[in-house]
Structure 1
Amino acid sequence: MPRPGSHKYDIKRSRLRNELDDAGIPDKRADELANEILRNPRGLRARLTHVARRFVPRPGRRGT
């Protein structure tokens, strides 16, 4: 895992941030979430599940 502040870390954060932004998460929140995911890879699955529940409509329900 690259260390925060390194070039590799910045590249990974930027790519992850863009993916989150493309998924519909607001810019500022996408940046914070990307940093949090890269700093705590063990919590990645739980964090992404939380994001999915918030932003992805469940089957059979209408999105707002």
Structure 2
Amino acid sequence: MPEPGSKAYDKERARRRKEAENRGISDQDANIEANESLQADPKWQSRGPRTERGKGPKGERQGE
């Protein structure tokens, strides 16, 4: 799954932005609409850290 900040995410955001512009939405509003639609779509949401190292130092983690 692509995540925010990845190349696939950026390409999808650009595609959605261009679609919005073609519907007559202004440039700035099209960018906002593309970001909001991607953030609302579960396919494009972040899954969080994938490894133990990504969670931070073991002594500082909550609830483990």
Q: What TM-score, normalized by structure 1, do the two folds share?
A: 0.61
1:2 CA drift (Å): 1.7
- The 2-side partners of 1:7 and 1:41 are apart by 17
Q: Which runs of 4+ in 1 moved over 6 A?
A: none
Give the letter aligned to residue 22 of structure 1: N
- The 2-side partners of 1:41 and 1:14 are apart by 15
Task: Provide the aligned length of Structure 1 versus Structure 2.
Answer: 42
Gaps of 5+ in 1: 43-64
C-alpha RMSD of matched pairs (Å)? 1.2
Gaps of 5+ in 2: 43-64
Match of 1:58 in 2: none
Select the structure that is richer in helix. Answer: 1
- The 1-side partners of 2:24 and 2:41 are apart by 22
SS state at 1:30 partner = helix
Which residues of 2 match residues 1-64 of structure 1 at below 5 A? 1-41=1-41
Q: Which structure has the larger Rg?
A: 2
